[in-house]
Amino acid sequence: MSTFERIVLSLIITTTFSVNCSSNNKCVKESSCRCRKDEYSYIDITSVVGDNPYLEDIHGDFTFYFLGCNDKEFNAIISKNNCTGLPIKSSLIMYNSSNNSCSAIGSASNIEFEFAGQSNRDYQLVYNKTGDSAVDPTIRLLCNDFEIPFIKVINVNNNELVLSSPKVCLITQHPGLSAGSIFIIVGFVTAGIYFFGGCLFLYCIRGGRGLELIPNLDFWKSLPGLVRIVKDKK
């Protein structure tokens, strides 16, 4: 192989690899609460907010309210906030204390799940081109063991948040073998051992060759006859 051929080959191999790696990380949206990465892995954030009406974080003049992956009503009673613009039905709301206004910055129907690029378990929600915000808000999903969920503002200029909860994790379920497939596998292995072991025995000990190598050959030969007898008796 020439050097040129080697370079071309390695290029083909690396591009194939990288294409598959990146495409494999895609989590395809099934609803505003669910995405599916492949047959066995998915993210489901339906119950992430739990019994709380929302999760909130205050950052300077701004308070962010995450109401979950479905639009929910946000009013003065729920919000304990006397801002203008209420009530609002939304998934993500921002309160601006400089002018005491609340505004929807993310609607559930615009949620997309996006691979966030570092480990292959990192995903984020993107509110794709929506609401009153110039910048698409993003919520990085932080999968961990802390039972109490929280949101945290990372960058207020970009509406960048993190959401921490055990309920934002990528879940992978490999189905166990069913009883039926175990039965079939055991059956094939037993049959294999029977025939292979039988052949070996007949070949080495009995010095059998050709058809003689099939264990219990007489029995197998008589099988069609036996079946006929059983049928006739019925």
R_g (Cα) of the chain, nearest Å? 32
Q: Which residues contact 172 (CB under 8 A, 6 or more apart)?
A: 40, 41
Instruction: Return the ∠ at Cα 222 (arms to 220 and 224), rounded to 5°.
Output: 90
Q: Closest separation between CB of residue 98 and ligand NAG, Å? A: 4
Residues in 101-140 at the binding interface with ligand NAG, rule: CB under 6 A = 101, 103, 112, 114, 126, 128-129, 132
Query: Would you call the peptide bond into 87 cis, given omega within 30 degrees of 0 as the criterion?
Result: yes
**Contact with ligand NAG (CB under 6 A) among 2, 3, 5, 82:** 82
| CB closer to ligand NAG out of 33 and 202 | 33
* Parallel, antiparallel or unpaired: strands 88-90 and 92-96: unpaired
Regarding beta strands 160-165 and 138-143, do their DSSP bridges make them parallel or antiparallel, or are they unpaired? parallel
- Of 94, 58, 51, residue with least CA distance to 74: 94
Q: Is 99 in the site for ligand NAG (CB under 6 A)?
A: yes
Size of the site for ligand NAG (CB under 6 A): 16
Give the residue, chosen from 15, 18, 20, 144, that forms a contact with ligand NAG under the rule CB under 6 A.
Answer: 20
80 binds ligand NAG (CB under 6 A): no
The footprint of ligand NAG (CB under 6 A) covers 19-20, 23, 82, 84, 96, 98-99, 101, 103, 112, 114, 126, 128-129, 132
